[in-house]
Amino acid sequence: MTALEANFDGLVGPTHNYAGLSFGNVASQNNAAAVSNPKAAALQGLQKAKALADLGLVQGMLPPQLRPDLASLRRVGFAGTDAKVLHEAASHAPQLLNSFSSASCMWTANAATVSPSSDSANGKVHFTPANLVDKLHRSIEPGQTARILQAIFKDPAHFQHHMHLPEHPYFGDEGAANHTRLCHQYGQQGVELFVYGRKASQANSPAPKHFPARQTLEASEAIARLHQLDDRYVHYIQQNPDVIDQGVFHNDVIAVGNQNVLFYHQQAFLNSASELALLQQKMQGDLHLVEVSTEDVSIDAAVRSYLFNTQLVTLGDGSMALIAPSDCQENPQVYQYLQSLPERGSPIKQVKYFDVKQSMQNGGGPACLRLRVALTPAELAAVNPQALLTDDLYQQLTQWIHKHYRDRLCATDLADVTLYQESCAALDELTQIMRLGSIYAFQR
């Protein structure tokens, strides 16, 4: 069966700001309280998505969620008019206001885990939104994420949507940031690689000591069951606890895969040699393991540059390209390695650099901004067409961003009811552009 891989990028929301909410994410914490530029952030992400579409890849867009999330603020006891709710939250619980104003849903690698129809027993594309229980500001996302995915992938003949896992650390789930599908062709049976940080059911098993392990083995196993995956084509591997403690909060900060290529750091996994040997067997001996040594690139350099938070994509001629942040060019150690990468004998033949600094300063690179969905032609035809990036949609979204987004935002602005009203107006117009229906109604 023929199929392709589509990337669905998250549009950066109007409240993009730096509140340092993500303990364990070095960039997020280092840039706390900096002044952000939501307009530049949204344009940078959109331009990166358009560049991939211009390369001939199928590119989709996912809308932002409504922020500040007044429904969540009211749920925890703030009452009255919109202006009063924001004022009271800012006065008495500013951390809550920061959390419920976060534009973190822009990182759609955390939106869900997706399994294609060729891997599932019932021949449908499966979606499970991530519960994101480890971080308060992200834990409010799953319900809205589900509505967005259901509005874009609507046809039950092709798509099956699951509720997010129970909201407890036992089932801590961070979505596709800890999931990689390896295959020979997108439409063939693949091997789904789940990377976890800890075993919730085994208190004495290896785990990081300083930063949290956000993904549990038990969550990954539950998703594999929900998606009706064949155990023979599923592999679980534990992330190295030591690299989590060095700021590698998700697997996509230390490894990225595409088709039969896995690009990863030498220190990425626990019991790396034996586990990757098993993965190689499941890939019938045809897996290109592109390992980056600590001597070539240190963990610190990898985290600061987001060398592995890159998109690895297959181009029309069958070769692969790495879509990297411009920060990789600015790190001498990383840039030197990437300059030599096309000559190292792997299918990765070129590197393309993009400025996504507004996202990078909050701890998310090119790979964070996209959710990968492998689709057959019939499944692609069933996707909401207004979610697929065309020249026309790109122009509409560019104009929409210029019309509705501020070019400067600081923490005190979050309490301004005008910002909330601007966000509501922006998303109301976006639902018309993308024909998304009433997906924001429950948040009002």
Task: With H, G, I as helix, E, B as strand and everything else as coil, classify residue 58.
Answer: strand
57, 7 Cβ separation under 8 angstroms = yes
- The catalytic position among 235, 250, 265, 288 is 250
The question of whether 250 is a catalytic residue gets the answer: yes
Q: Which residues is 61 bridged to in the sheet?
A: 9
Cα(82)–Cα(416) distance, rounded to whole angstroms? 10
Using only the alpha carbons of the chain, give its radius of gyration.
20
- The catalytic position among 174, 192, 218, 379 is 174
DSSP strands (E only) in 139-282: 159-161, 179-182, 191-196, 234-238, 255-258, 261-265
Cα(425)–Cα(8) distance, rounded to whole angstroms? 23
Report which of 371, 353, 367 is spatially closest to residue 116, judged by C-alpha positions. Answer: 371
The label of the residue with tokens 């300063």 reads 361
Q: CA neighbours within 13 Å on the CB side: how many for 244?
A: 25
Pairing of strands 261-265, 288-292: parallel
Task: With H, G, I as helix, E, B as strand and everything else as coil, classify residue 229.
Answer: strand
Burial class (CB in 10 A: 0-12, 13-18, 19+), 341: middle
Report which of 25, 41, 145 is spatially closest to residue 356, judged by C-alpha positions. Answer: 41
DSSP strands (E only) in 81-173: 112-115, 125-129, 159-161
Report how many helices (DSSP H) and strands (DSSP E) the chain contains, helices first.
Answer: 17, 15
Q: Which two tokens stand for residue 177?
A: 């940031």
275, 302 Cβ separation under 8 angstroms = no
Cα(427)–Cα(434) distance, rounded to whole angstroms? 10
- Tell me how far CA of residue 43 lies from CA of 14, 396, 420, in angstroms: 11, 12, 20
Q: Which two tokens stand for residue 276?
A: 């990757």
- C-alpha dihedral, 353 to 357 to 363 to 367, nearest 10°: -30
The question of whether 5 is a catalytic residue gets the answer: no
Residue 307 C-alpha from the chain's centroid: 15
Catalytic residues: 174, 250, 368
